[in-house]
Amino acid sequence: MKDLDPMVFLAVFQEMLGPLLWLLPLLAVGGVLAFVSLLVKEKGLVSRRLVWAELMGVLGGGLALVIMAKVSSSGFTDAGGPADWFLIALVYGAGLVGTVILAYAVMGWVRPRTAN
């Protein structure tokens, strides 16, 4: 492979993820927009909501690892070198951060902060 062709990456990810390839980025963009608009509306973070969102983020990171194991042909026991473990950590981190943002936004829009 002499050149990096983005269409090759798109084809590989489409084969691995199927419809999730389009659902996950839409969910990420929607979650970030909902999070930012909630921050603007409430003029700051609500600490209790953030703690609950962080706890849910731990589960979201684990779910990201489960999805990664399902769509790839290898498991965690096949991780051999530092690059493999770095990729596993990146997937967990992306799942954690994404879940925190999405959970905070959903909790904020479902139960907005009451005026004190």
Instruction: Please give the residue range of the domain that contains residue 75.
Output: 6-110
36 pLDDT band, cuts 50/70/90, is very high
Q: Nearest to residue 97, comparing CAs of 46, 37, 50?
A: 50
pTM above 0.85, yes or no: no
Average pLDDT over residues 68-72: 81
- Whether residue 26 is contained in a domain is answered as yes
Average pLDDT, the chain: 87
Residue 99 confidence (pLDDT) above 90 = yes
Of the two residues 97 and 24, the one the predictor is more confident about is 97
Residue predicted with more confidence, 97 or 83: 97
Flag whether 85 is in a domain.
yes
How many domains in the chain?
1
pLDDT at residue 1 in the model: 55
Q: What are the distances in angstroms from CA 99 to CA 1, 79, 85?
A: 35, 25, 21
Is position 115 within any domain? no
Report d(CA 20, CA 5) in Å as an integer: 21
Give the Cα separation of 112 and 116 in Å (integer): 12
